Amino acid sequence: MRLALLVLAALVAASPVAAQRTVVHCGTLLDPATSMEPLLEQTVVVMDGRVAEVVAGFTTDADAIDLTGATCMPGLIDSHTHLTGESRSNGYIDRFRLTPADRVLQAVAFARSTLMAGFTTVRDVGADEGADYALRDAINRGDVDGPRMFVAGNSLSISGGHADRSNSYREDIVGVPDETQGVVDGVDAAVRGVRIAIRRGSDLIKFTATGGVLSLQGDGTGAHFSEAEMRAIIETANARGLTVAAHAHGDEGMATAVRAGVSSIEHGTYMSDATMALMRERGTYLVPTITAGKSVADSARIEGYYTPVVTQKSLTIGPLIQDTFRRAWEAGVPIAFGTDAGVFRHGRNANEFVYMEEVGVPFMEALRFATVNAADLLGRAETLGALRPGYTADLVAVTGDPLTDASAMRDVAFVMQAGRVVKQDGQFVPRPTRGR
């Protein structure tokens, strides 16, 4: 008898841990990967952090999460964020005042705000001093709450380019940046810059194909990098399995980047019809960041918020981005949802849906940009961006109807990330206390 009990105990100990099963009842399900029409009364079954099945009707599970009065959809993806910073008046002083530790601690709050807004995954496309790596890894370990992050590290820039952080500062204070700070000149330096970023743990590479708005330089549209330099960046990254994003406002720089094989154009303000046709032909994504354009223009109207040169660029370039997006969408350019969060307050990413609606984009199509297309741009089309069996169980819900009013996306009531409920009834759900 004693032997039998010992054998039984051994078998129990050796058996797999019981699967974690969660059932969600959705009144309406919006999933562009499955249908461009709303699906009514759907049940999503989650097992061990992945979608097990999606079935029509409601199951009899007594402990099912009740979202029968809500609109459910896959977790949202923002393809252009900067979680380690946030715009503020005279923020240029922060680079001398804030330490890397300060930036990481601030970023913890920014990350939670983003997750609570329903964005379960982000592509973070530029940060200094390794703060983005640290935040990503802390989220992956479960130390802090935030979106799943794919990070670029330092943006690559020419000397004096948009991502050269020494612009307009005294050299005896900030020094002369090199490849270790992302400043690369020439093909060899470009290759080294990519390899350094990969060594540090970058998930993708970003470079500034043109000038920018918020940097302390006079022109935000001029072309930077030669085509040979761009090809060196892109080919080196692609050879290691990384995609490449190109910040670009001026048409010449973005067209060169597209010809060189870039994965996405960020912003795209002065994009010509010819460049749109080239992007459509090559399948190059536009990440429009309409919210950034609106936000910098609004901030520029506040006296003293930016320096004079940045103020002028913000008032000139910012208002143009929404119309460029409209033209690109109408021309059939592939679109991946991205906001440039950090240029404005984190957690307001959903405004992008409203700005897309303003120029006539149906919500289901905008949602496709923020799920299916964004997952494809990340190279995660088989695991993210849809509620399908085997996919990561990221699910969000709103109580309003975004099909008739995209502003409903500003009020996310429920968030599930990889099967864990992180927001319910509009409130944050903390992690269970870890054992000691």
* Segment among 166-170, 202-206, 295-299, 378-382 with least mean pLDDT: 166-170
pLDDT of residue 3: 41
35 three-class SS: coil
Q: Are 426 and 396 in contact (CB under 8 A)?
A: no
Instruction: Supply the CATH classification number for the domain 76-349.
Output: 3.20.20.140
Average pLDDT over residues 259-266: 98
Nearest-Å Rg of the Cα atoms of the chain is: 23
Confidence class for position 291, pLDDT limits 50, 70, 90: very high
Ranges for all domains in the chain classified under CATH 3.20.20.140 = 76-349
Q: Kindly tell me if the per-residue pLDDT of 161 is higher than 90.
A: no
Instruction: Supply the CATH classification number for the domain 19-74+387-428.
Output: 2.30.40.10
Q: Which residue has the higher pLDDT, 170 or 265?
A: 265
Q: How far is CA 219 from the centre of its chain?
A: 26
Average pLDDT over residues 61-68: 96
pLDDT of residue 370: 99
130 three-class SS: coil
Q: Kindly tell me if the per-residue pLDDT of 181 is higher than 90.
A: no
Average pLDDT over the chain reads 92
In this structure, the dihedral spanned by the alpha carbons of residues 285, 364, 342 and 418, taken in order and rounded to 10 degrees, is -100
Give the pTM: 0.93
Residue bearing tokens 């990254």: 237
Confidence class for position 15, pLDDT limits 50, 70, 90: very low
Confidence class for position 18, pLDDT limits 50, 70, 90: low
Nearest to 238 by CA among 256, 274, 263: 263
Beta bridge partners of 46: 22, 51
Ranges for all domains in the chain classified under CATH 2.30.40.10 = 19-74+387-428
Q: Kindly tell me if the per-residue pLDDT of 300 is higher than 80.
A: yes
Confidence class for position 100, pLDDT limits 50, 70, 90: confident
Strands 264-267 and 412-417: unpaired
pLDDT digit string (tens) for 266-275?
Answer: 999 999 999 9
pLDDT digit string (tens) for 27-43?
Answer: 999 999 999 999 999 99
Q: Kindly tell me if the per-residue pLDDT of 5 is higher than 60.
A: no
Q: Kindly tell me if the per-residue pLDDT of 435 is higher than 90.
A: no
Residue bearing tokens 């496709």: 368
Q: What is the percent of the chain with per-residue pLDDT over 90, rounded to a whole number?
A: 81
